[in-house]
Chains A and B, each alone.
Chain A
Amino acid sequence: RKEVEQDPGPFNVPEGATVAFNCTYSNSASQSFFWYRQDCRKEPKLLMSVYSSGNEDGRFTAQLNRASQYISLLIRDSKLSDSATYLCVVNVRQGGNYQLIWGAGTKLIIKP
């Protein structure tokens, strides 16, 4: 079983719709959580951190469920420019250091 699992998609969604995807992680000692966005042939960029109480940034809402070990990302009023791959990332303490564990990403395609 992978440490961080995501549905690879693609999710094909009409412009203006709401879309949500989840990510599950296996290490209960995971410390912090992030969503990154990666455009085709570009580097990953931080979209948002995920806080225990849930957090919102404009049209984007992230949630964390520690009991079930999953995080989610909700995008409201989707735009064409939201088309990208969304990477779930978990920060795990291993020994004396922290390490990011990356999901394989969920591909999102917003259609006009």
Chain B
Amino acid sequence: DAGVIQSPRHEVTEMGQEVTLRCKPISGHNSLFWYRQTMMRGLELLIYFNNNVPIDDSGMPEDRFSAKMPNASFSTLKIQPSEPRDSAVYFCASRDRNYGYTFGSGTRLTVV
């Protein structure tokens, strides 16, 4: 199994631009999570999906952030417009029915 696949690995963009992060979970995992990690705030849950349905998006910072999961094998996290304070590492993780979590390698986002 290839594990959780995220793209891009690195993204540098200018303030105001739209950013789209992508995630392919492990096949058969029915839950998907988007996390953000910074030095100041640690690992924060942004949103998670069960069976492609968003369950809890209370961690999404504001309306500039949106996430979709159109099918069981793909999810996106979009930031529009991006701001410098959005700079962080964004992790996607998927979970199997036995509650084993696997993280992707993350997307390192820098907004200048």
**Residues of chain A having any CB pair with chain B under 8 Å:** 32, 41-46, 87, 91, 94, 97-100, 102-105
Contacts and interface: CB of A to CB of B under 8 A. Distances in A.
Interface string B24-56: 000000000100000000110100101000011
Given A43-B105, A44-B91, A104-B42, 12 more contacts: A42-B106, A43-B104, A46-B100, A46-B101, A94-B56, A97-B55, A97-B56, A99-B45, A100-B45, A100-B101, A104-B43, A105-B42
22 contacts: A32-B99, A43-B91, A43-B104, A43-B105, A44-B43, A44-B91, A44-B103, A45-B103, A46-B100, A46-B101, A87-B43, A91-B99, A94-B56, A97-B50, A97-B55, A98-B99, A99-B45, A99-B48, A100-B45, A102-B42, A102-B45, A104-B43
- Chain B interface size band reads 10 to 19
> What is the predominant secondary structure among interface residues of chain A facing chain B?
strand
- Which residue of A45, A94, A100, A103 has the most chain B CB atoms within 10 A of its CB atom? A100
Contacts of B43: 44, 87, 102, 104
Nearest to B41: A104
A44 B43 CA distance: 10
Contact of A99 (B56, B91, B100): B56
A45 B103 CA distance: 7
B25 to A, nearest CB: 14
